[in-house]
Structure 1
Amino acid sequence: MKVKIAGIQTKFFISFIFSLIASFCIFTAVYSTYISFVSQKYPYKFQNYNYSLGRLSRISSDVSLNTSGVNFNNNSKYKSVLSKYEVKYSKYKLGFIVTDPQNKILYNSSKLAGNTSLEKTYSDFLKYFNHTMNITMYHDYIYKTPIKTGNDISILWITASPINTPHDSIGTLVGDKNILILLSICMLIFFIITHHRMKYINEMCCGIKTIANENLNFKIRQKGHDELSEISKNINFMADKINEKIENEKKIEVSKNALITNVAHDIRSPLTSIIGFLQIIDNSEYESKEEMQRFINISLKKAETMKKLTDNLFMFTKLNGGDLKLHLSTVCLNELIYQLIDEFSITFENSKLNIVDNICAENIMVTIDINLFVRALNNLMYNALKYSIKPSDVNVSLVQCDKNVLISISNKCKNLNIENVSMLFEKFYRADKSRTNPDEGSGLGLSITKSIIEKHNGIILANYDKDTITFTISLPN
């Protein structure tokens, strides 16, 4: 049995997460390779200093805060306060320039050229940084903050050289264009991963369309262990059930047509005879009263045949219509069969048939509809009476077998092929095809018997061996 491992919703979610991760890894690898390759030819094209500038801004704020309360009234103060920053942030080439209100340089540890205009450099830096917020090429960093020098307020210029760091390379991945590319790769991977499931869904749709076009023998391939495979299984099951119902409807239609044809044939023959004899009587074309009485007797017999046929037909339709209710009561089956044997004994003796009974001594109690069950046994006894080789024995037995009761009636007969045994319970079937006279039987007796036994949750079987036919009824006890 197939076990559901993960639902289709879970699979699609996992596929999406995998596609997202895979697309990021692929894009990062490809983008890094591209930058590495192009940067060899254009060294400054992909340089980015955002992280460095942010770091330098925080350093400048820290310097400004720590120098706000210091009075740089001699040269030793400059070195004692500022040199520690120069050493700590040497990778940024951190330097300091102190100018008095008259722009005279009081201290200079910066790496800037001596003729550099500090105000212009500062103005250019602010202008570029404030407008772009993104340094994509080398640019000097400069920052100014007021400090106290004796009795004056001077300016401390902080200079540095931003450097390109790994943080900045990762930062270049962020951007509308790159995000669009990343999502495109993600969608492509997701499409590739889910392609086989979508292909299977399309296959299912085509299969459903094929089944809808009345090709009910078509089967949708079951694939996987999720909801889609369950849907395919249920659709195939539904198609089989519909096909089975259609076949049953066809059989019912054929059966109905056969029923009408056979009933019409079996009624027409005696009815034709009755009409013919009554016309003779009506036209006074008989030669004597004895001949008239003979015609009346024949017509009466034919009418009784028609009544028997219509009774059997009525019982058959009731049994197969599903609206028949059983009137159950508990009886002793031994006594019921003995009574049946007594009723048929004289008739069988007149036909040179001897009933041999083999009834168990223990009383067997069963719950049955007495009228229907007796009718089923009567049909079997009449069948034995009609088709037995004469003279011969008819064996009737009753035994208890585990939780079932077995009733069997066997008799010797001829002109019965082994392959015909399974057909005996079919309606209108006659073992002897040459017997077309409805007086010989309607062909409904054994079919009615089978239906009655099945209504009692039992089964009836026929077995033919060495010119002996045996009908066995098995009832739950």
Structure 2
Amino acid sequence: MKVKIVGIQTKFFISFIFSLIASFCIFTAVYSTYISFASQKHPYKFQNYNYSLGRLSGISSDVSLNTSGVNFNNNSKYKSVLSKYEAKYSEYKLGFIVTDPQNKILYNSSKLTGNTSLEKTYSDFLEYFNHTTNLTMYHDYIYKIPIKTGNDISILWITASPVNTPHDSIGTLVGDKNILILLFICMLIFFIITHHRMKYINEICCGIKTIANENLNFKIREKGHDELSEICKNINLMADKIKEKIENERKIEASKNMLITNVAHDIRSPLTSIIGFLQIVENNEYKSKEEMQRFINISLKKAETMKKLTDNLFMFTKLNGGDLKLHLSTVCLNELIYQLIDEFSITFENSKLNIVDNICAENIMVTIDINLFVRALNNLMYNALKYSTKPSDVNVSLTQCDKNAVISISNKCNNLNIENVSMLFEKFYRADKSRTNPDEGSGLGLSITKSIIERHNGKIWGNYEEGIITFTILLPD
């Protein structure tokens, strides 16, 4: 199941939006609670009439506009208009007073009390309203509108009682200081929310430093399903790949050292013999010409052993270095194996070995490099010739399984342990005592065979059971 990855950018964006909303809610709640409690102790300090007076100013402008065409000589008509405003804005105790040019009151619905004249009250209000920035003290609202009554100019007075609204406007809540507090709360919440991600980033950085200090066994903890977890996963994978590469390089270096050691060992022994025999011949220390000829023949045989070793080593290097190009052709595998059996039959008979073949009747066609593949089969046959218990049978079979050609060569042998079967394809590995005798083989035969089969996309393995070693080749046709 594929896990959906939520991007870290999206997570940080969501965290930021959440921080803004949460900080605003927290600040509003704290601020409102503070105002509620503090205003009970210091009522004047927390009074605010800005909003009410601003709204009453707008109402007055609206009344002025809507009464400009009203006939104030018709009492019932203008009273009807004014009563609608009184009902609509009752929370401000809105009232109206109409006075004639002699200041005689023609209509009065005002809730104002006191003996102060309307003009004096109006003058005091204008002084308060126009010269006070923060309206925290209560003052009766009064506004006058000139109206025409016949040929005279009368006055329509609007009176009201402003309502204290200490924190009902955004302007009150969002002041310069409050914005700083709001931003601080927002940053604090954002820091708390993103702290675990930043801590995880620091953990990743420490992990990278640890891996960079060649501690390739260290694994960074994978957490979540975002880009950070993907980074951790890839870093751990990279560390594993580097570790694997280093281990392979060490194995290659160890293998190279072993190769040099084994080649030096396998060349030194026959070379020492050759030098010894040739010195005898050179110094005329042989007893007869027959003995001299025997020394020469031995030296020649040793030289041929060295040549075979170098040829095998050259072939092994080319196969494993990838420099060898296959010359492929399609052949009948049945005929190829029959030909192989014919070539070895006399040699096997002379060694008291009997080849028993079991070749399927159906022709199996394969695409191979004939020379290389024959060399691989020859190595297996020579291996059977050298290490078979004599006298005994050597079984060669060819079958087809799931569109694959299966070749098996088995023989009896008593110098092998089941634990050593997996080592047979290692270069320079020789079973049992022949390790000290280069004339018995270079130890590269089965390694070369394995490399050839694998270059043909095939597989080869060995199985030892009840004293019989069986080599099986699986080759796609």
Q: What TM-score do you get using the length of structure 1 for normalisation? A: 0.92
Q: How has the CA–CA distance of structure 1 residues 259 and 83 changed in structure 2, closer, same or farther, with 3 Å as cutoff?
A: closer
Q: Does the CA-based 8 Å contact 1:2-1:225 persist in structure 2?
A: no
Q: How does 1:41-440 map to 2 (within 5 A)?
A: 41-69=41-69, 72=72, 82=82, 85-98=85-98, 109-116=109-116, 118-165=118-165, 168=168, 171-433=171-433, 435-440=435-440
Any unmatched runs of 5+ in structure 2? none
1:315 Cα deviation after fit: 0.5
1:382 Cα deviation after fit: 0.7
Q: Does the CA-based 8 Å contact 1:414-1:467 persist in structure 2?
A: yes
SS for the counterpart of 1:145 is strand
SS for the counterpart of 2:158 is strand
Q: Does the CA-based 8 Å contact 2:434-2:440 persist in structure 1?
A: no
Q: How has the CA–CA distance of structure 1 residues 45 and 169 changed in structure 2, closer, same or farther, with 3 Å as cutoff?
A: farther
CA distance in 2, matches of 1:326, 1:88: 102
Q: Does the CA-based 8 Å contact 1:360-1:399 persist in structure 2?
A: yes
Q: How has the CA–CA distance of structure 1 residues 81 and 445 changed in structure 2, closer, same or farther, with 3 Å as cutoff?
A: closer
CA distance in 2, matches of 1:299, 1:67: 138
Q: How has the CA–CA distance of structure 1 residues 272 and 26 changed in structure 2, closer, same or farther, with 3 Å as cutoff?
A: same
CA shift digits 1:305-355 (9 cap, x unpaired)? 110000000000011001211111111111111111111112112211111
Q: Does the CA-based 8 Å contact 2:97-2:156 persist in structure 1?
A: yes
Q: Does the CA-based 8 Å contact 2:23-2:189 persist in structure 1?
A: yes
CA distance in 2, matches of 1:227, 1:198: 13
1:105 Cα deviation after fit: 6.3
Q: How has the CA–CA distance of structure 1 residues 184 and 433 changed in structure 2, closer, same or farther, with 3 Å as cutoff?
A: farther
- Greater mean deviation of Cα atoms: 98-107 or 462-471: 98-107
Q: Does the CA-based 8 Å contact 1:384-1:411 persist in structure 2?
A: yes
Q: Does the CA-based 8 Å contact 2:51-2:169 persist in structure 1?
A: no
CA distance in 1, matches of 2:8, 2:354: 74
CA shift digits 1:207-250 (9 cap, x unpaired)? 12211111111111111122222221121111111111111111
CA shift digits 1:365-405 (9 cap, x unpaired)? 11111100110111111111111111211111112223111
Q: How has the CA–CA distance of structure 1 residues 399 and 157 changed in structure 2, closer, same or farther, with 3 Å as cutoff?
A: same
Q: How has the CA–CA distance of structure 1 residues 436 and 77 changed in structure 2, closer, same or farther, with 3 Å as cutoff?
A: closer
Q: Does the CA-based 8 Å contact 1:51-1:167 persist in structure 2?
A: no
Q: Does the CA-based 8 Å contact 1:19-1:186 persist in structure 2?
A: yes
1:189 Cα deviation after fit: 1.8
Q: Does the CA-based 8 Å contact 2:460-2:473 persist in structure 1?
A: yes
1:16 Cα deviation after fit: 1.8
- Greater mean deviation of Cα atoms: 167-176 or 316-325: 167-176
1:418 Cα deviation after fit: 0.9
Q: How has the CA–CA distance of structure 1 residues 248 and 76 changed in structure 2, closer, same or farther, with 3 Å as cutoff?
A: closer
SS for the counterpart of 1:15 is helix
1:147 Cα deviation after fit: 2.2
Q: Does the CA-based 8 Å contact 2:49-2:166 persist in structure 1?
A: no
Q: Does the CA-based 8 Å contact 1:407-1:473 persist in structure 2?
A: yes
1:409 Cα deviation after fit: 1.1
Q: Does the CA-based 8 Å contact 1:78-1:107 persist in structure 2?
A: no
- Greater mean deviation of Cα atoms: 98-107 or 209-218: 98-107
1:130 Cα deviation after fit: 3.5
CA shift digits 1:139-191 (9 cap, x unpaired)? 22122222234434344332221113587366531212222222222222222
Q: Does the CA-based 8 Å contact 1:98-1:156 persist in structure 2?
A: yes
Q: Does the CA-based 8 Å contact 2:3-2:225 persist in structure 1?
A: yes
CA distance in 2, matches of 1:348, 1:78: 137
Q: How has the CA–CA distance of structure 1 residues 272 and 104 changed in structure 2, closer, same or farther, with 3 Å as cutoff?
A: same
CA distance in 2, matches of 1:79, 1:466: 126
SS for the counterpart of 2:9 is helix
State the identity %.
Answer: 92
CA distance in 2, matches of 1:317, 1:343: 28
CA distance in 1, matches of 2:254, 2:364: 41
CA shift digits 1:246-266 (9 cap, x unpaired)? 111111111011001100111
CA distance in 2, matches of 1:66, 1:430: 118
Q: Does the CA-based 8 Å contact 1:48-1:169 persist in structure 2?
A: no
1:2 Cα deviation after fit: 5.0
1:38 Cα deviation after fit: 1.2
SS for the counterpart of 1:377 is helix
Q: Does the CA-based 8 Å contact 1:277-1:296 persist in structure 2?
A: yes
Q: How has the CA–CA distance of structure 1 residues 50 and 353 changed in structure 2, closer, same or farther, with 3 Å as cutoff?
A: same
Q: How has the CA–CA distance of structure 1 residues 467 and 26 changed in structure 2, closer, same or farther, with 3 Å as cutoff?
A: same
- Greater mean deviation of Cα atoms: 163-172 or 426-435: 163-172
CA distance in 2, matches of 1:242, 1:87: 85
- Greater mean deviation of Cα atoms: 210-219 or 260-269: 210-219
Q: How has the CA–CA distance of structure 1 residues 348 and 59 changed in structure 2, closer, same or farther, with 3 Å as cutoff?
A: same
1:112 Cα deviation after fit: 4.0
1:428 Cα deviation after fit: 0.6
- Greater mean deviation of Cα atoms: 284-293 or 445-454: 284-293
1:56 Cα deviation after fit: 1.2
1:284 Cα deviation after fit: 3.2
Q: How has the CA–CA distance of structure 1 residues 258 and 115 changed in structure 2, closer, same or farther, with 3 Å as cutoff?
A: same
SS for the counterpart of 1:379 is helix
SS for the counterpart of 1:46 is coil
Q: How has the CA–CA distance of structure 1 residues 332 and 69 changed in structure 2, closer, same or farther, with 3 Å as cutoff?
A: closer
CA distance in 2, matches of 1:434, 1:367: 36
Q: How has the CA–CA distance of structure 1 residues 129 and 346 changed in structure 2, closer, same or farther, with 3 Å as cutoff?
A: same
Q: Does the CA-based 8 Å contact 1:354-1:392 persist in structure 2?
A: yes
Q: How has the CA–CA distance of structure 1 residues 164 and 338 changed in structure 2, closer, same or farther, with 3 Å as cutoff?
A: same
Q: How has the CA–CA distance of structure 1 residues 378 and 98 changed in structure 2, closer, same or farther, with 3 Å as cutoff?
A: same
Q: What TM-score do you get using the length of structure 2 for normalisation? A: 0.92
Q: Does the CA-based 8 Å contact 1:15-1:194 persist in structure 2?
A: yes
Q: RMSD over aligned Cα, in angstroms?
A: 2.5
Any unmatched runs of 5+ in structure 1? none
1:121 Cα deviation after fit: 4.1
Q: Does the CA-based 8 Å contact 1:5-1:226 persist in structure 2?
A: yes
- Greater mean deviation of Cα atoms: 433-442 or 246-255: 433-442
SS for the counterpart of 1:296 is helix
- Greater mean deviation of Cα atoms: 190-199 or 244-253: 190-199
CA distance in 2, matches of 1:180, 1:97: 47
- Greater mean deviation of Cα atoms: 323-332 or 132-141: 132-141
CA distance in 1, matches of 2:227, 2:75: 83
CA shift digits 1:74-123 (9 cap, x unpaired)? 98887566555445444323334455667676665544455435455434
1:455 Cα deviation after fit: 0.9
SS for the counterpart of 1:166 is coil
Q: Does the CA-based 8 Å contact 2:47-2:166 persist in structure 1?
A: no
